[in-house]
Amino acid sequence: MSRGGALVTGSARGIGRAIALALAREGYDVAVHFRTSASEAEETRAAAEALGVRAVTLQADLTDLEAAGELVREAHAALGSLAVLVNNVGNYVHAPLDEVTLEEWRDVLATNLDATFATCRAATPLMRAAGGGRIVNLGYAGAQSLLARPNLAAYAIAKTGVVLLTKAIARAEAAHGITANVVAPGVIETSRTKPLGEIPAGRVGTVEEVAAAVCSFLAPEAGYVTGQVLEVAGGWNL
């Protein structure tokens, strides 16, 4: 029996794909979201269905905030419920702050923060009507501690906003049975830069380790955990 529907944004590949497949293994029907990677999204959908759940692919450009909200409603309609929302989409710029263009700045904030706001805004009424739900937003290790790192200012600022947004949602929706938490990856196998010398664990993380952290917030006993940040970073910020 299905545990309900789950939407994972940006789940055609990478961390998002690992999360979608982990949710499928947990028994959730899955909506695989993509913007341009249609063939990869179809591969993820097929892999999820092979695990015995229903899966659909849905296309949307989440920089269009109306489209972001509509994506949530489409996932709910296609799967019959929306028990879980995972916001994974977020573009990244690695450059000194004075070299970041206005277009890059806007894109990083739009894909990481604005899109998360739009999908959460659309999801919470649906979850309230169903008696509850789980929201997990992807952050960035160190953002909640306001750590400044060279060349990552735009991304870190956007992810700090995601942390505060998630805490605001957690507080507002706790009485409705909705939890909202952040999984904050550090240096992962898909990361563009890999400063191994800064990581006490001495290795990068795997996408499966990030997915496992997301699923930890979905366990029945995690219903009393909300507004929290879980780093998957190998001790990077210790």
Tell me, yes or no, if 155 is annotated catalytic: yes
Q: Are 63 and 114 in contact (CB under 8 A)?
A: yes
Spatial distance between the Cα atoms of 217 and 205, rounded to a whole number of angstroms? 19
Give the largest Cα separation in the chain, rounded.
53
Rounded alpha-carbon distances, angstroms, from residue 123 to 13, 120, 192: 23, 5, 31
Q: Are 146 and 192 in contact (CB under 8 A)?
A: no
Cα–Cα distance between 184 and 179 in angstroms, integer? 16
Looking at 28, 92, 140, 155, which residue is catalytic? 155
Catalytic residue ranges: 155
